[in-house]
Amino acid sequence: MEFTAEMIAGLLNGEVVGDKNAKVHTVSSIEAGKEGALTYLTNPKYEKFIYTTGASIVLVSKDFKPTAEIGATLIKVDDVGACIVQLLTAYDAARPQKKGISRMCSISEQASMGENCYVGDYAVIEAGAKIGDNVKIYPQCYIGDGVTIGDGTKIYPGVKIYEGCHVGRNCIIHAGAVIGADGFGFAPNAQGGFDKIPQLGNVIIEDDVEIGANTCIDRAKTDSTIIRRGVKLDNLIQIGHNVQIGENTVSSAQTGIAGTSKVGRNCFLAGQVGIADHVTVGDRVKVGSKSGIDKNVPDDEIRLGYPAMPGMSFHRSWSVFKVLPDLSRKVSELEKQLNELKNR
């Protein structure tokens, strides 16, 4: 698909500076731009590339003023970042969409399928499953007994959704994710081993949630593990049994949340955050990479480090920690001087 600068400017309510008939068919970074690509300038430190990029069209803010000649056509807009999202969304919607039910999938006669669904090769949909309209289930997915999937949701290849789980509308679950595997529940026995505790609950994923590749969300021991509306989870995340994650919370890769913990709304968890069991994290909390949360965190706090501490306390501690070798040497010298004084 090709788009002209004039078409793009019309969509974005922008102003064309240069050739209004310049055409693009792809999007690239500004430093790697080639002919036929649209790129953008959002960070001033990349401005040097706008004068050398091979891209055909560059989105810039309306207050951008070049300091040298630019070969590309410019489109000036109010908010470059928002316009890029708008363009990518429009481009994605215009791509060919998967359609139809493969003859090589298995759908139980007791399952119910909505209209205009796609089901790929070797997907399995078990009895009692309820699939909404416009759902896309890619090859080799497993949809267990009694699972419900809301309208417009995409389930990418190799996803496994165990029995009784619920996925809302307009969700995206990426390849290899497992929803509803047993929670990690075992009780010590008299023989020194462990007895498995049956995990009888389910997982509820509300609307507009995105779950990254190979992320695992365990079913509850009783009741439900709950992922609220608008949550975005990166790849390789582990969510334990009976965890609740509040609306519009975001987590980067390799975060682990232990059983029965609660994370509030609009939180941000950076990569490799660990949250211990039975911990409550308030609303709008920000947690830095590799931090370990072992105690409750109030609303609107920042936590850094392991074990995690308030942001300012962490920075003060770090300012001391990084000079500990010098401090240790100075203390040794002072001890030596003190001993000399005592000996006199």
Positions marked catalytic = 241
Q: CA-CA distance, 244 to 170, in Å (whole number)?
A: 20
In this structure, the chain runs to a length of 344
CB 270 within 8 A of CB 252: yes
The token pair that represents 122 in the structure block: 């070797």
What's the order of all strands across the beta sheet hosting 57-61?
A: 15-17, 73-77, 57-61, 37-40, 26-27
The token pair that represents 258 in the structure block: 């232990």
Q: CA-CA distance, 91 to 86, in Å (whole number)?
A: 9
Strands 224-227 and 186-188: unpaired
CA 35 to chain centre: 32
Is the torsion defined by CA of 299, 305, 310, 311 positive or negative? Answer: negative
Q: CA-CA distance, 63 to 77, in Å (whole number)?
A: 9
Q: CA-CA distance, 342 to 67, in Å (whole number)?
A: 70
CB 100 within 8 A of CB 117: no
Q: Which residue has the tokens 């990254």?
A: 212
N-terminal to C-terminal alpha carbon distance within the chain: 90
